[in-house]
Copies of this chain bind each other. A is one copy, B any other.
Amino acid sequence: MPSPTIRILGIDPGLNRTGYGVVEITGSKLGYIAAGVIRVPAGDLHQRLGTILRSLAAVIRETQPQVATIEKVFVNVNPQSTLLLGQARGAAICAAVTEGLVVHEYAALRIKQAVVGFGQADKRQVQLMVQRLLSLDSAPGSDAADALACAICHAHSASLLIALKSQDHVTARARSSSSGRRAWTARLQGIE
């Protein structure tokens, strides 16, 4: 049975700049699909949120990811900034929801561990590791790199999950051939 492919959108939301990145994982093979930044012009709040909502929905329709991921927010900044970021984050999540995607959240620490190998990595290290993992010609910009890193973090989790399920499947098949419980095997294949 060939490994399933999962296409993942990563989002790095912000009211001025919202980064996005799309990767694909097939077995343990990671591929780059797209990345960029939505630059939000100055304007009234509803106009700015509308730009994030519409632009990100357009990216989703174009790149067709099956799942979305977003970084859990660090709120230890001034309250007004937290509120603005929260609103931008709300608009970004709404874009994913509107396009029918489930949104997974990952803490920054976990994303850096997954991509660079340690949680205290700086922005430049994230950019370079994203470039290496996706075999890109140059390092992506900071917003796009953060979005790609979030998607890669989920890809690693998804990849692990698939591997574990395959393991279950092999075990189930072994049991099935010895005990004849084929229905259970079929259910596991369905999950895969």
Contact = CB atoms under 8 A, between A and B. Distances in A.
Interface of A: 44-47, 49-50, 53, 68, 73, 75-77, 79-80, 82-91, 93-94, 96-98, 101-103, 105
B45 A94 contact: no
A46 B103 contact: yes
A83 B70 CA distance: 14
A106 to B, nearest CB: 13
Contacts of A68: 46
Nearest to A90: B90
Nearest to A77: B79
Identical copies of this chain, number: 2
Contacts of A50: 94, 97
State the main secondary structure of chain A at its contact with B: helix
A80 B75 contact: yes
A45 B90 CA distance: 9
A84 to B, nearest CB: 7
Given A44-B102, A86-B86, A90-B93, 18 more contacts: A44-B103, A45-B105, A46-B93, A50-B94, A53-B98, A73-B83, A82-B83, A83-B83, A83-B85, A86-B87, A86-B90, A87-B93, A88-B90, A89-B90, A90-B90, A90-B91, A91-B93, A98-B98
Contacts of A82: 75, 79, 82-83, 86
Contacts of A94: 49-50, 53, 90-91, 94
A121 to B, nearest CB: 24
A150 to B, nearest CB: 14
A51 B1 CA distance: 38
A45 B80 contact: no
Contacts of A77: 79
